[in-house]
Structure 1
């Protein structure tokens, strides 16, 4: 029996504060340490670049879902660039290809990824990202969780996804 690797989608802004960059970097490393695949938007900016770099520095596998028509925009830390030519439409691919989604601070693109994930019944973990009451009903259902840091994210993934397989 072949067991497929877990794909963890890490979403977040193209701009990141130093503390969010550090969390994303550490999270990428922890995802790699677990033997999971890191998937993100693939660009060399913000949360995307930080999480991919963290995963690569720990020997992990990274997948980037790119908005453009070629792979020239891919972060150098992306192993497998998926070229979509879809612009923001790639957000659907980001969340549907992820087994679980982790969202760090971002703007409208990150909010759209959270919304698409929840609409499609994917579990979402927010880290340092207050969405207010926007997704309150999903929190009540257990689809949306908050984590204080990257270590708690890994624990939630293990409890909510790995142990329920």
Structure 2
């Protein structure tokens, strides 16, 4: 019988890795048999993917939504994508991100819609755009970090300062 894969998206800064939170989170996701989805870039995305694939005996895979564009020479992924921790790169022609992260040509729509639950760490305009899209598409989302790190995010999102709280939330959402 067909069984849908259980995918958890981890979103956050493309520059800051937030390793102290991301590494234990990604390991927990792998150890519990889920798949990991990121935007395939650096920062949080790379730290999560590398920690996830380092877990021995895991059954899940590391999936990355790779932004790119079509040129006269064919398809080109954004330089530096996918990061080395991505096992299944999903290449898209959607190039926009950052301040344009809610635009119809942004791969953020795929990031948000492809996961059953989203854990969002601190980040910039693109990360905020993913949070807004999650609300628009009614996707389960939790912000992982201190309240001050999410001052510029819209109100109304569940927030968790601890890994334990995030993991409890994920277990309840992924049932």
Equivalent residue for 1:50? 47
Superposition deviation, residue 133 in structure 1 = 7.7
Equivalent residue for 1:11? 11
Work out whether 1:95 is the aligned partner of 2:112: yes
Alpha-carbon RMSD across the aligned residues, in angstroms, is 1.9
Unaligned 5+ segments in structure 1 are none
1:17-63 CA-partner distances (Å, limit 9, x unpaired): 6xx222112111110111001000001x1100011011101134100
> Secondary structure of 1:81's partner?
strand
- Matches of 1:133 and 1:66, distance apart in 2: 26
Q: 1:111 to 1:134 in 2, by over 3 A?
A: closer
1:83-130 CA-partner distances (Å, limit 9, x unpaired): 112122000000000111110010000000000011110111101154
- Matches of 1:162 and 1:14, distance apart in 2: 26
Q: 1:132 to 1:63 in 2, by over 3 A?
A: same
- Matches of 1:3 and 1:126, distance apart in 2: 28
- Matches of 1:162 and 1:73, distance apart in 2: 29
Q: 1:109 to 1:129 in 2, by over 3 A?
A: farther
Q: 1:106 to 1:129 in 2, by over 3 A?
A: farther
Matches within 5 A, 1:1-165: 1-16=1-16, 20-43=18-41, 45-58=42-55, 59=58, 60-68=60-68, 69-70=76-77, 73-87=81-95, 88=97, 89-128=106-145, 130=147, 131-132=150-151, 134-136=153-155, 139=156, 144-159=157-172, 161-163=173-175
Q: 1:129 to 1:117 in 2, by over 3 A?
A: farther
- Matches of 2:146 and 2:119, distance apart in 1: 10
Q: Which has the higher helix share?
A: 1
Superposition deviation, residue 162 in structure 1 = 2.5
TM-score (norm 2): 0.80
TM-score (norm 1): 0.84
- Matches of 2:43 and 2:19, distance apart in 1: 7
Superposition deviation, residue 15 in structure 1 = 1.6
How many equivalent pairs are there? 153
Unaligned 5+ segments in structure 2 are 69-75, 98-105
For the pair shown, the structure with the greater C-alpha radius of gyration is: 2
